[in-house]
Amino acid sequence: MDKNILQHLQLPSNIIFEVNEEDDFHGIFVMKPLEKGYGITLGNSLRRVLLSSLHGYAISTIKIEYQTKDEKRNFVKSEFDNIPNMVLEDTLTIISNLKKIRFTLNGESQKKTFLAEFDGPKEVYAKDLSNSDMNIVNGDQYLFTITKEGKIFLEYTVEWGKGFIAAEKKREAISTIGVIPIDSIFSPVKKVNFSIEAARVENITDYESLILDVYTDGTIKPKQAVEQSAYILIQFLAKFITSVKDEKELIDLENISEDNIDDQDAKLIQLLDQSLDTLEFTERIKNCFNSANIKTFRDLLTKTESEIENLKNFGKKSLETVIEKLAEYGLSLNMKDRIEKVERMYKKN
């Protein structure tokens, strides 16, 4: 392969986080500019992987024993067997509440069994299961109420898995009397939406932007969920590339023809030493840039996001404005390495 296969393709310049990227539950990600059709291709693929293929922790089996003040210890034989005159909820309701607990295990454990003991009368919540081996996200999740004096012993197994596994699929593998399999919802992603909007590159409006809206259960941040999904897709798509000999060649695929300057690189060369006035920033942003001696595209493009955000009197909203303005030109911050490469190529030619 002796030609740059990315030549003449408009690649997205950056990912814009419209919600705090450190938010544990919700993230909105904007990718632009994209060639027509790429928005729905990428959005649909990422959405399917986000909802179906990420791993998480869930309770897989439980065993419930109970002991009133004057009676011997008994156990619940199945999900249809209830605790008589001691617990407000039936067993099916307790199981339903247990399925809603979202947590992670510490360390490298993929499966672990725990035992919790509760003295009545007491309202029991997810946080009452907490110990040093786990982190419960929704500790306020209600589980059940013990209505009189006595004890409830709850043995539960937590597993790491993918997607959804029904209780029936586990039943044959269980030989211990009193152990009840329950449905396990492993996926840490609760909801994913995406939309496509028009995008502009300079005066050309024939591009689009992908807006990805991701909600998680808090055991993984939306940014991590999107990154993992993108990685999974890359692993599958890489199998189609049979013309490369090793991983390094695959990674360097876009640099195969370093002697060729494509249209985007030529445009970048022309812009580097031009004034930022073209971008029509607000007076506040202009003043911040002037104070920091940032006057040309080169001055701005070689800065990182953190360097720009940390400028005096410069906030996150202003940073988002800068990123959006640069995206209209197919550019982004932190382009120092690319600029150096393009200038080397330009000198060769």
Q: What percent of the chain has pLDDT over 70?
A: 90
Note the pLDDT tens digit of each residue in 88-139.
999 999 999 999 999 999 887 889 999 999 998 999 999 999 998 999 999 9
pLDDT band for position 200 (cuts 50, 70, 90): confident
d(CA 102, CA 209): 33
Quick check: 109 and 153 in contact, CB under 8 A? no
3-state secondary structure 143-181: EEEEEEEEEEEEEEEEEEEECEECCHHHHCCCCCCCCEE
The more confidently predicted of residues 15 and 106 is 106
What would the two tokens of residue 32 be? 């632009």
Q: Would you call 307 exposed, middle or buried from its count of C-beta atoms within 10 A (0-12, 13-18, 19+)?
A: middle
Residue 258's pLDDT is what? Answer: 45
Note the pLDDT tens digit of each residue in 232-257.
999 898 888 765 555 455 545 444 44
Residue 1's pLDDT is what? Answer: 47
Task: Say yes or no: domain 10-54+189-257 is CATH 3.60.15.10.
Answer: no
d(CA 88, CA 83): 9
Residue 82's pLDDT is what? Answer: 93
Quick check: 186 and 57 in contact, CB under 8 A? yes
Q: In this model, does residue 228 exceed pLDDT 60?
A: yes
Residue 241's pLDDT is what? Answer: 77
Q: DSSP secondary-structure letter at 183?
A: -
311 closest CA partner among 284, 280, 331: 284
Note the pLDDT tens digit of each residue in 256-281.
444 445 566 677 787 888 888 888 88
Residue 347's pLDDT is what? Answer: 67
Amino acid at 289: F
Note the pLDDT tens digit of each residue in 168-187.
999 988 888 899 999 999 99
Residue 210's pLDDT is what? Answer: 93
Confidence (pTM): 0.69
pLDDT band for position 189 (cuts 50, 70, 90): very high
pLDDT band for position 333 (cuts 50, 70, 90): confident
What would the two tokens of residue 346 be? 């330009």
What would the two tokens of residue 91 be? 């067993």
pLDDT band for position 75 (cuts 50, 70, 90): very high
Query: What strand order describes the sheet that includes 26-34?
Result: 14-17, 26-34, 204-216, 189-201
* CA end-to-end span of the chain: 20
Q: Name which CATH class applies to 56-185.
A: mainly beta
What would the two tokens of residue 289 be? 């840039």
137-to-101, 130, 297, 319 alpha-carbon distances in Å: 8, 10, 44, 31
Cβ atoms within 10 Å, residue 11:
12
Q: What are the domain boundaries of the chain?
A: 10-54+189-257, 56-185, 259-349
Question: In the predicted model, what is the mean pLDDT of residues 82-91?
Answer: 93
Task: Say yes or no: domain 259-349 is CATH 1.10.150.20.
Answer: yes
The more confidently predicted of residues 31 and 253 is 31
pLDDT band for position 11 (cuts 50, 70, 90): confident
28-to-175, 216, 283, 327, 334 alpha-carbon distances in Å: 46, 12, 28, 17, 21
Most confidently modeled range among 64-73, 81-90, 296-305? 81-90
Quick check: 28 and 213 in contact, CB under 8 A? yes
Note the pLDDT tens digit of each residue in 52-72.
999 999 999 999 999 987 778
Note the pLDDT tens digit of each residue in 135-176.
999 999 999 999 999 999 999 999 999 989 999 999 988 888
Q: What are phi and psi of 198, to 5 degrees?
A: -70, 145
